[in-house]
A and B are shown apart, each in its own frame.
Chain A
């Protein structure tokens, strides 16, 4: 574990200047956890944006975020260049979720992310160095995570829940109300923070659906049990509230971070 961790920052340092320069601000700061959270948020935003520009689906992007969060769960935020890790996470997630993304595209998109409206990279040493770092970092992540790189995501659950809930609601009311879009957006947004690995996938799915239904004031029939109790027996109202409050914090964070 020593090898890569000592070597990798070095490669990033002398490799892509734009990447190194970017992180300086975060690097020299004091060990403020709030700052870490903000950095995390920014990096996750970076992953999200990159994912969209690379045409990645939601699940690979979610995997990339989870990889990222899990990685920095284990290592010190300051030991590695978070954006490089993020790029590698995107690359690795593409492999894990069977939607291969090419390093070249990742590097291009990232480069443009940091240097907006700049010309694409030349095919020179800088590029190849960067490419090497991404691949190296991917190996590092794999080792750090002990090759546990496939995760269960709430996406599947959410979609099935959506269909079940839809059947309960009058079809016209449903078609008027963008519950599906909202809950999907909420679910994607969850991945901006560590909450995506703190909560059980089912709970996240239920909470996002709950929030979406709640936002539009969609009323569900009530029986002996609530609809969300049925979907997952062990979920409590408190669980849902916890997820929702975490999620809402992320939205607050956006205003602060970006």
Chain B
């Protein structure tokens, strides 16, 4: 028994109830447990006995129900969302009752101070604004509590701290004017001094009201009950009843269900004070649904029996009708399903039979007949499939049959047979496949290669023409293309292949390829030479990484350099993060930043020129090159990103294999032309792939790598290469760091130069290379070696 509740009741009703309770509840141990306790309370309060002995009798008799803790079903679900559902008022929102009751001013005021709590919502009008806040004359309450408070002359202070500021420099109070309606949360109530402080901070609302927006309220959005109470107060003919009937919500056909839920009373297990209707007396099997289920299955069984009878006498149509009837009555009736399945199987509809048996086993997994029949039918079906040469499916069916009944000799035998056949055929097929593949790869590659070269050539020509006529900036791009095409024409198979891929696929895949190739190379034993090569390779890679911000060279725009570099990196990051919708804005921002870029590139150019090989041509147009290049490369990137998703994997895969094949060659070449400069030329294609479509980005591998790996992981869906790669990337990052440190120590200029150079290399690179291309290959190699040597020494040719 709820002692507290009982005590309260006794205090109200007085001694007479207590005596009756003692009479009526003598057998209730719960009551006996609390009786002595209650005794005191009753006499203390000396309740005056509110009369009606019948009511007291009733309370006494039903006390065990009334004060039972489980009687209260409503969970304390705080003042729900209600309100603000104005248009679709689901029930009649009534003005506060005390308005009609004409409760005295003092009592109402006392009640409000008693019941108002922190986090409640009040609505009021601003009557005074001071520098420390404003004062609100309260009009009504909102949220859960509904009270008539308009004439109570309640004033509440909203301190300036409690007003969320919209702009940092503005005085928040300037948004509010005298006369504004404000919805605010109660921050504090001083019940003794009768002071209320309020807040406009959302956080000060109680959690159940959090969704209600605080602040200025247009007149139309004042609470409904307030509007109605104003009307009721003005017109005495507006009684509670009238208002109730005039409300839309009152006529809502489902108002009872809605409100029951609101007050928390269950209508499916309704409460009752009648002893015989206590919900604990209702048993689950007496409910309609339970009986119906039972009945249906028994009716269905009857039909099945009739059907089986028909079946035995060969009246298949009648049998089928009975089975179907049974299933109409009781869908998923196991017996009916099994019987119908058997009939189907008999009539040759094996698939239908299997479906039926499966359904039956679903609801009754241990049904012996169902298992047996399904097993047989599966074998049957398997044989059919075997005839149709669908061996694998058939094998699956046999296996399933065996899983149902592992001793079924038929299934066992069939399975043995079919596995043999399958293995044989697999072997045959493999051989055939291997042959085919060999043929396919060889033919395809050469044909495609040719096509590629032709295409490349064509494009190059076009571009050149265009660049000649247009601004120097466009010439960059053409040069880029021409350079790449020239590199492709330089009889280097590998780069050609890669290039073609580059056009189609996104940078991510390229990097994959690059890495995998690297890996394979690595795995080919580590002789001294190899290791050196590897180191070299690593260095190469490192070279593409962003120049650390503090590695300043003696370049012309030395001051700007590092800063720009940093900024570039940021930009890149932004670019990476942002999706394609934002492309345009980025374009703007990037083109705005093109000045930096320009200086960057010019610096690079200068350096290049200083180098041994024909940098003279290159420096042309370098000033204005970058913006154009940037945007172009981005376009490309976007496109390739779109496309690449699909192609990516495939590309990578076949490129992997090709890579491996061309590996030998690569290595040799690498050894021979190990100078940095030639690396560039070679790498111009390779690296640009590796770094992705945008040559400009090479500086920012680091930032990109992060994004890349995550991105790729997301669409490649956990391919193991990715994981591997991610780890690798981390490695590489580490190396970059290392390299950076080293370069700080003295080689910084070179590194940056290299970085800068490489940054461009993929796309803009190598106008000089074209020149180089004209030279014989071994000469080139020699040049490269020289350059490499110089680099090693850290001496820069002036």
Contact = CB atoms under 8 A, between A and B. Distances in A.
A230 B229 CA distance: 14
Closest 9 CB pairs of A and B: A217-B12, A223-B103, A223-B101, A178-B72, A120-B295, A224-B102, A159-B259, A185-B271, A230-B100
B87 interface: no
B299 interface: yes
Nearest to B4: A176
20 contacts: A52-B269, A52-B277, A57-B257, A123-B299, A156-B259, A159-B259, A159-B260, A160-B94, A170-B115, A185-B270, A186-B273, A189-B274, A189-B277, A202-B241, A216-B5, A217-B10, A218-B12, A232-B240, A241-B52, A248-B55
Given A48-B277, A214-B55, A225-B101, A184 B265 contact: yes
A112 B94 contact: no
Interface stretch (B141-149, B464-472, B667-675): B141-149
Contacts of B4: 176
B192 interface: no
A80 interface: no
A251 B255 contact: no
Interface string A40-56: 00000100110011110
A48 B45 CA distance: 41
A225 B288 contact: no
A214 B50 contact: yes
B13 interface: yes
Interface residues of B, number: 85
Interface in A181-214: 181-182, 184-186, 188-189, 192, 202, 211, 214
A171 B295 contact: no
A163 B298 CA distance: 49
A241 B253 CA distance: 30
Contact of B277 (A45, A112, A177): A45
A94 to B, nearest CB: 12
Interface in A116-171: 116-117, 119-123, 155-157, 159-160, 162-168, 170-171
B100 to A, nearest CB: 4
Chain A CB count within 10 A is highest, among B4, B253, B276, B277, for B277
A177 B253 contact: no
A238 to B, nearest CB: 12
Interface in B252-307: 253, 255-257, 259-260, 262-265, 267-277, 279, 282, 285-289, 291-292, 294-295, 298-299, 302
A182 B270 CA distance: 10
A248 B265 contact: no
Nearest to A120: B295
Nearest to A170: B115
Interface stretch (A7-15, A17-25, A68-76, A103-111): A103-111
Interface stretch (B58-66, B497-505, B621-629, B693-701): B58-66
A48 B76 CA distance: 28
Contacts of A108: 288, 291-292, 295
A28 interface: no
A117 B117 CA distance: 54
A178 B79 CA distance: 16
A104 B291 CA distance: 10
B92 A251 contact: no
B76 A175 contact: yes
B582 to A, nearest CB: 50
A224 B9 CA distance: 25
A184 B271 contact: yes
Given A188-B270, A230-B100, A109 B288 contact: yes
Contacts of A182: 66, 71, 271, 273
Contact of B288 (A54, A184, A217): A54
A15 B263 CA distance: 45
A163 B437 CA distance: 80
Contacts of B614: none
B97 interface: yes
A120 B298 contact: yes
A108 B296 CA distance: 11
B273 A185 contact: yes
Chain B CB count within 10 A is highest, among A112, A164, A219, A226, for A164
Contact of A180 (B62, B74, B250, B286): B74
A55 B54 CA distance: 33
Contact of B94 (A45, A101, A116, A163): A163
Nearest to B249: A160
Given A112-B286, A170-B114, A217-B13, A232 B101 contact: no
Interface string B107-130: 110010011010000000000000
Contact of A163 (B76, B115, B147, B263): B263
Contact of B61 (A48, A57, A223, A251): A251
A181 B264 CA distance: 8
A168 B97 contact: yes
B104 interface: yes
B244 interface: yes
Given A163-B94, A211-B58, 5 more contacts: A55-B289, A57-B256, A108-B291, A159-B262, A217-B12
Interface of B: 4-5, 8-13, 50, 52, 54-55, 57-59, 61-62, 66, 71-74, 76, 79, 91-92, 94, 96-98, 100-104, 107-108, 111, 114-115, 117, 144-147, 239-241, 244, 250, 253, 255-257, 259-260, 262-265, 267-277, 279, 282, 285-289, 291-292, 294-295, 298-299, 302
Interface in A213-242: 214-219, 221-227, 229-233, 241
A89 interface: no
Chain A CB count within 10 A is highest, among B239, B273, B298, for B273
Nearest to B74: A180
B255 A156 contact: yes
Given A188-B272, A192-B274, A171 B115 contact: yes
A216 B8 contact: yes
Contacts of B52: 241, 244
B743 to A, nearest CB: 71
A156 B260 CA distance: 10
A59 interface: yes
A232 B241 contact: yes
Contacts of A215: 9, 55, 58-59, 62, 66
A60 to B, nearest CB: 10
A101 B289 CA distance: 11
B268 A226 contact: no
A168 B260 CA distance: 19
Nearest to B63: A215
Contacts of A166: 263
Contacts of B259: 156, 159-160, 162-163
A167 B286 contact: no
Contacts of A5: none
Contacts of B96: 164, 167-168
A181 B74 contact: yes
A98 interface: yes
A171 B146 CA distance: 11
Contacts of B273: 182, 185-186, 189, 251
Contact of A109 (B145, B286, B299): B286
A215 to B, nearest CB: 5
A164 B229 CA distance: 13
B75 to A, nearest CB: 9
A151 to B, nearest CB: 13
A169 B76 CA distance: 15
Contacts of A119: 294, 298
A258 B277 CA distance: 11
A171 B145 contact: yes
Contacts of B72: 177-178, 181
B239 A233 contact: yes
Contacts of A221: 98, 101, 103, 107-108, 111
Contacts of A120: 291-292, 294-295, 298
B245 to A, nearest CB: 10
A40 to B, nearest CB: 14
A58 interface: yes
